[in-house]
Amino acid sequence: MNWLELLDQLASIFTAVAALGAWLSYLCGRRNRRLALEHYLKTELPDRPDGKNTGARSVPHLMAMLRMPEADVLTAAFESSLVETARRPDDEGVTKDVLLRYRRVAAA
């Protein structure tokens, strides 16, 4: 086996390892964004009995607080089973804002 074939095989192995590392990094990033959204919304659960705080937060609010782009906030929300969506309609019934809130899990 000559050096060129050896370098070719090593480059193939390195490419596969680098691709696997990039994929794992991508998955960990998505998981971390989902967990950050769930944690933040859980801390925003209503604690007032008067019902004025529903725990729902708008997407722009979450973008600012979590320092994530809109696409990442929405992707994290739609991937989570603990986040539910609601809408805030305008006077004509068209959705003005998408609201996200932590879904309370009933004890089994």
Q: Compute the CA torsion angle 75, 79, 83, 89 (nearest 10 deg).
A: 50
Residue 106: the pLDDT is: 57
90 domain residue, yes or no: yes
Residue 26: the pLDDT is: 97
Residue 16: the pLDDT is: 97
- The number of domains in the chain is 1
Q: Mean pLDDT for each consecutive 10-residue tract of the chain (108 residues)?
A: 90 97 97 96 79 84 96 96 90 88 72
Give alpha helix (H) positions in the chain: 3-43, 59-66, 70-79
108 domain residue, yes or no: no
Find the domain containing 77 and state its range: 3-102
Residue 46: the pLDDT is: 75
42 domain residue, yes or no: yes
CATH code for the domain in which residue 43 is found: 1.10.10
Residue 93: the pLDDT is: 84
